[in-house]
Amino acid sequence: MHRNVVVLVRQEGLGSVGPEDRSFGLDMFERFLHTLEAQPAKPRVICFYTAGVKLVCDGSPLIPALRLIEAMGVRLLSCRTCLEHYGLKDAVLAGETGGMNDIVKLLMEADHVFTV
């Protein structure tokens, strides 16, 4: 069952960690995704913006986990402007690309929004 929940990902990992703990933040985000897989209710969409878009791109260790959650029916949406800013427009390996209008529309329609 999918609820009208939107998860916002604005960083390259889970939570705020310093550069020296980057791998820890990535590990924790992967743990978050695998825990989410086991939940009976899934979010409608996970939106990636600012540095969070790096997680859906070539070189991200989270691509397999993201593809799995996507295969379970969770939409993955990345901000086009953010991808362009980081030079990653052609490096997306999971989900789809959309504009800020798409993200704001999803936020406004959501029953719950969580930022991780």
Do residues 13 and 30 make contact, with C-beta atoms less than 8 angstroms apart?
Answer: no
Number of CB atoms found within 10 A of residue 66's CB? 22
Per-residue pLDDT of the chain (116 residues; tens, 9 = 90+): 456 999 999 999 888 888 888 899 899 999 999 999 999 999 999 999 999 999 999 999 999 999 999 999 999 999 999 999 999 999 999 999 999 999 999 999 999 999 99
Tell me the C-alpha distance between 54 and 104, whole Å. 20
Q: CA 80 → CA 54, 77, 111, distances in Å?
A: 12, 9, 24
